[in-house]
Chain A
């Protein structure tokens, strides 16, 4: 394996959880809901996936349960914000806090155990391709799912009737409701999809990235996923690009260190965050562009009149 291949492979592993969580959140935000609880859902997914894999010895079952856990946990957020119309920002934060605490309690007995790894699945013939072979066609299940997710979400949002309805709700829940689209039901589905994606992202952390359970192992990735969605101005392909860019910067700063560049490591560590702000500024500067894609009713509660 050449250096370039190896580096790109590392970047892929770093980008996949960001990509998954951000794709989920993108759908949620497109439906007009802002869920700041991504971090909490990721960490719940991670602990449940790990625990399941340890108990059953089957990492695939682990990944499945991780996604289910994220989904169930997101329902808590859905119930509060959609049924009880609570403030979305506060509820999302509460979800994060609860998730960090609860996962710590669930995972207490699993700390320090060596985990079961989700092994790569080579796709016959294609994995023999130079460069692309090992990079794209000899990866673990969750990586394939993350790519599938990008394609699926793009197709769903822009090519299907349901996707159109979802975007309509995000842009103006009042008009969508008047047209007879069920706002609450659609948003519930979106929130649950977001939860499942975040849970799967968590499963990637505890089954692929570092196959072990560590408290707070999401390490701020939920927040970065949130940033990525805005960064991508709510477009799936840009989320893909953003996630990989972010992964590349994170890994790149470590390589810069290993090569012996004499820059204080704190500055290199701060680089991804500064880059995000910079890109946010560049993208949001163009008001027309942002307004065109921003779900207009993002973060607003909806109560149907009868």
Chain B
């Protein structure tokens, strides 16, 4: 028996809609099998994983906090990936955004004006974009593979932050501990509904970024350029679009949003710089981007789902004693199934048995 694919004449509208749900269903089945293998009741496990975190108001706030950076970064990356530029270093751009944005509250902490916060956010965006410009420059100037250069820069950014908070930016009142000065109230991102939880403006930024990017990709010339150049650099050239300009646009756009995510996280949740400010948001966002099929609206939903797996992982650890690694395994499963099911959109899958007539497994 073997599997053969047959390209559909046009992509299947039905499977565009249905495939994420098939994937989710398969993930849940795989998860249930895994939980059973671990000796847990699969229904309890799935409940605490996917439902329990949604039953309380404060937990919804936490969901927003966790999802906001993922969505912000992933929306930026979607534009980058669509234009066929592979920025794997959003984690580094996130960190540099956080650092550059923090210059004001750390080095000029006496200045308390309502201007501080907006300037911080702009500097964060600029920092992330500038850091992303390095792989873009290397790619356009020297033809350097951007996957690798952007990835290597992640480690450099992490070590740079580490050095800053242990060295020059160390909190003078902090007993030599590795952390920066705490931000003053003027430098802290306000919470949106302080009465019910601690979600801050970050989630609003994520919503705005999602909508603007969606609008750009759907209705603006720039979005069209991204798609054309992404599908075929040659076609783009004939249309008169500059591939090099597009590399810069893609990297600056995704870097800027990663930087915004970084400074929002630092200013909204951590309220100072610490040696580690991201639990891998930049990498997880790559999954989010693909889960959302590089569509900003899809990414918004995917960001929420992925944030839920983190919260669910914790809930399952407390309520039924599942190991904490399960969240990651789940994320892997989910992404595999989404990718596999997306094949159905463009291809018909046929099972072929040697010596027998073809059997069409599905033919929608």
Closest B residue by C-beta to A290? B143
- State whether A90 touches B335 (Cβ < 8 A): yes
Residues of chain A within 8 A (CB-CB) of B79 are: none
CB distance from B346 to the nearest CB of A (A): 8
Residues of chain B within 8 A (CB-CB) of A102 are: 325, 329, 332
Per-residue B-contact encoding for A189-224, CB less than 8 Å = 1, 0 else:
000000000000000000000000001000010010
Report A258-293 residues with CB < 8 Å from chain B CB.
264, 266-267, 269-270, 273-274, 276-277, 280-281, 284-285, 287, 290
Residues of chain A within 8 A (CB-CB) of B7 are: 303
- State whether B156 touches A101 (Cβ < 8 A): no
At the interface, yes or no: B219 with Cβ under 8 Å from chain A? Answer: no
Given contacts A87-B290, A93-B286, A303-B5, contact A98 B339 (CB under 8 A): no
Task: Tell which of B104-112, B157-165, B234-242, B243-251 binds the partner.
Answer: B157-165
Partner of B336, one of A76, A89, A306: A76
Given contacts A97-B287, A97-B328, A264-B163, contact A105 B155 (CB under 8 A): no
Partner of B159, one of A86, A101, A223, A266: A266
Residues of chain B within 8 A (CB-CB) of A290 are: 143
At the interface, yes or no: B343 with Cβ under 8 Å from chain A? Answer: yes
CA distance A18 to B290 in the complex (A): 29
At the interface, yes or no: A122 with Cβ under 8 Å from chain B? Answer: no
Closest B residue by C-beta to A106? B325
At the interface, yes or no: B131 with Cβ under 8 Å from chain A? Answer: no
At the interface, yes or no: B331 with Cβ under 8 Å from chain A? Answer: yes
Residues of chain A within 8 A (CB-CB) of B68 are: none
Closest A residue by C-beta to B2? A83
Per-residue A-contact encoding for B7-51, CB less than 8 Å = 1, 0 else:
100000000000000000000000000000000000000000000
Residues of chain A within 8 A (CB-CB) of B347 are: 85, 303
At the interface, yes or no: A230 with Cβ under 8 Å from chain B? Answer: yes
Residues of chain A within 8 A (CB-CB) of B3 are: 83
CA distance A76 to B329 in the complex (A): 14
- State whether A264 touches B167 (Cβ < 8 A): yes
CA distance A101 to B7 in the complex (A): 34
CA distance A36 to B286 in the complex (A): 13
Closest B residue by C-beta to A40? B332
At the interface, yes or no: A114 with Cβ under 8 Å from chain B? Answer: no
Given contacts A94-B335, A223-B151, A280-B148, contact A105 B340 (CB under 8 A): no
Given contacts A80-B336, A94-B336, A94-B339, contact A270 B160 (CB under 8 A): yes
At the interface, yes or no: A45 with Cβ under 8 Å from chain B? Answer: no
At the interface, yes or no: B144 with Cβ under 8 Å from chain A? Answer: yes
Report B137-183 residues with CB < 8 Å from chain A CB.
138, 142-145, 147-149, 151-153, 155-156, 159-160, 162-163, 166-167
At the interface, yes or no: B326 with Cβ under 8 Å from chain A? Answer: yes
Partner of B143, one of A86, A93, A285: A285
- State whether A97 touches B335 (Cβ < 8 A): yes
- State whether A94 touches B332 (Cβ < 8 A): yes
CA distance A76 to B332 in the complex (A): 12
CA distance A270 to B92 in the complex (A): 13
CA distance A102 to B86 in the complex (A): 26
Residues of chain B within 8 A (CB-CB) of A285 are: 142-144
* Dominant SS among interface residues on chain A: helix
- State whether A84 touches B328 (Cβ < 8 A): no
- State whether B159 touches A94 (Cβ < 8 A): no
**How many residues in A have their beta carbons less than 8 Å from beta carbons of B?**
46
At the interface, yes or no: B257 with Cβ under 8 Å from chain A? Answer: no
Residues of chain B within 8 A (CB-CB) of A226 are: 147-148
CA distance A272 to B190 in the complex (A): 40
Closest B residue by C-beta to A34? B147
Partner of B144, one of A80, A98, A215, A284: A284
Residues of chain A within 8 A (CB-CB) of B118 are: none
Closest A residue by C-beta to B155? A273
- State whether B145 touches A280 (Cβ < 8 A): yes
Given contacts A105-B326, A266-B162, contact A98 B332 (CB under 8 A): yes
Closest A residue by C-beta to B152? A273
- State whether A274 touches B323 (Cβ < 8 A): no
Residues of chain A within 8 A (CB-CB) of B326 are: 101, 105
At the interface, yes or no: A113 with Cβ under 8 Å from chain B? Answer: no
Residues of chain B within 8 A (CB-CB) of A76 are: 336
- State whether A284 touches B159 (Cβ < 8 A): no
In the complex, which of the residues A87, A90, A98 has the most CB atoms of chain B within 10 Å of its own CB atom?
Answer: A90
CA distance A294 to B39 in the complex (A): 49
CA distance A100 to B280 in the complex (A): 13
- State whether A101 touches B148 (Cβ < 8 A): no
At the interface, yes or no: B333 with Cβ under 8 Å from chain A? Answer: yes
Jot down 14 A-B pairs with beta carbons below 8 A, ordered by A. Answer: A84-B339, A84-B340, A93-B335, A94-B335, A97-B287, A98-B333, A101-B328, A101-B332, A102-B325, A105-B326, A267-B159, A274-B152, A280-B138, A281-B149
Q: A89-B86, A91-B336 are in contact. List 17 more A-B contacts (CB 8 A).
A: A80-B336, A83-B5, A87-B290, A89-B81, A91-B339, A93-B286, A93-B287, A94-B336, A97-B332, A101-B325, A102-B329, A266-B162, A267-B159, A270-B159, A270-B160, A277-B138, A280-B148
Residues of A within 8 A of B (CB): 36, 76, 80, 83-87, 89-91, 93-95, 97-102, 104-105, 108, 215, 220, 223, 226-227, 230, 264, 266-267, 269-270, 273-274, 276-277, 280-281, 284-285, 287, 290, 303, 306
Q: Which are the 5 A-B pairs with shortest beta-carbon distances?
A: A98-B332, A101-B328, A104-B325, A101-B329, A266-B163
